[in-house]
Amino acid sequence: MCKRLARASEVSGRETRIVYEDDMKISIFGLGYVGTVTSACFARNGHEVIGVDVNPLKVALLNDGKSPIVEDEIGDIVQAQVQNGRLRATADVDGAIADTDLSLICVGTPSNGNGSLSMSSVLNVTKSIALALRNKSQYHVVVVRSTVVPGTVNRQLIPLLERESGKRLGAGFGLCFNPEFLREGSSVRDFDAPPFTLVGVREEVTADMVRQLYAEIKAPFLTTSVEVAETVKYASNIYHALKISFANELGSYCKALGVDSHEVMDIFFQDAKLNLSKAYLRPGFAFGGSCLPKDLRALLYHARAHDLDLPLLESILPSNELHVKRAVDMILAQGKRKVGILGLSFKAGTDDLRESPLVRLTETLLGKGYDIRIYDRDVSMARLMGGNKEYIEKEIPHLSCLLARSLEEVVDFAEVIVIGNSNKEFGEVFSKRRSEQVVIDLVRMLADSGKSQPNYHGVCW
């Protein structure tokens, strides 16, 4: 067994020293599904683990070497770790905190009737830990594993710990958010081989202790802000729900047509370039073009002809339109009348204006009396040919007179500059603009999300 970071020494002044020992002593609050799996696996990996729960039956079961939950492999692991003395349970919070260096909060956060989270268990456990920390001189790390909405740790749990313990974050204790990604039925395999270990943290000493806690796990160890880590957990679970619902609705459509849905998806899976990839998962502006809106409408019409309701798929176009409205509202909120729009085609590198959300955005602003200039080299009248020349002349002739000849012309004119697609040329606006000009970015042109730029706004970042 390799050396692990185990125990933090007493805080001396503003400096916290860390001592290395052969194992870590950890307490895990909540012996439900996540807590039991986490307790058993950390004990198996060589740590000394105390499970803490208010339910005496769970405490008794674990101390008898029996798992409080039914899960593949966990029963044998619990039995072995209790027998070798690395795993035990208690209801004594003070004793558990006194005997350990690091505590994990793994209690449940079920739904209330209105859909909000019930935070009572998390808050009660956090308060109990804080009260126990009053009598502890050593630096102690609290790791939140329970799923909580973004902002909970910083706005609720840290103030509660500081108030009830009489200590300060980074001095008397550390706190971080470490979401779990365990699936029931395969939790041990998920614990041992996660895609990554994610920790949202504010103090480096806490990050170091948690890094050592996971020393046996061969996966990337990622640190980020607490709020990002909290949100990643929700992004993951909601995306899983979205995928399941997508597959089921498509399957229902296939069944109505007599098509083998599993064969469809087996072929669908083979596209790792677009279908099963990070493609299209970057927050930005609405979709458009000649394929996606048209094909979605066609499938929904066909489904209705077969008396099928597909609420998830039916929600996509309204959601897309709402995103266009968000961008329009951001522009209106600036209180300025001269707007320059960089990009009119639905994406960079094309002159295709069919169902471009930028056309809808521009027409909305025109309808509200805004003074508009547009620059898109790919859509300039001199380069339009064939179908798009006909389209602009027949469908949007009122926009052709608004086309500027250069980026500089738009910058000289506009009070608000809208970056509509990711044409690299549009990145030059940041060196050409005046500081008082507002930039509304629909594509995240700047990698740092514009933090160094005055009067900069991203559509969804």
The whole-angstrom separation of Cα 76 and Cα 57 is: 19
Exposed / middle / buried, residue 102 (Cβ in 10 Å: 0-12, 13-18, 19+): buried
Nearest to 326 by CA among 285, 298, 292, 355: 285
Single-letter amino acid, residue 301: Y
Helix ranges (H only) for 45-92 are 56-63, 74-83
The residue behind tokens 């050409």 is 432
One DSSP character per residue, 280-296 reads: T-S--S---SSSHHHHH
Nearest to 136 by CA among 170, 83, 95, 106: 95
**Phi, psi (rounded to 5 degrees) for 271:** -90, 95
**Distance between start and end Cα atoms, the chain:** 44
Among 176, 254, 291, 401, the active-site one is 291
Exposed / middle / buried, residue 109 (Cβ in 10 Å: 0-12, 13-18, 19+): middle
456: left (phi over 0), alpha (psi -120 to 50) or beta: beta
3-state SS, residue 343: coil
Contact 452, 436 (CB under 8 A): no
The whole-angstrom separation of Cα 407 and Cα 297 is: 36
Contact 324, 363 (CB under 8 A): no
Contact 300, 313 (CB under 8 A): yes
The whole-angstrom separation of Cα 88 and Cα 28 is: 10
The whole-angstrom separation of Cα 218 and Cα 32 is: 25
Nearest to 396 by CA among 427, 364, 422, 435: 364
The whole-angstrom separation of Cα 132 and Cα 317 is: 53
291 is catalytic: yes
The catalytic residue positions are 291
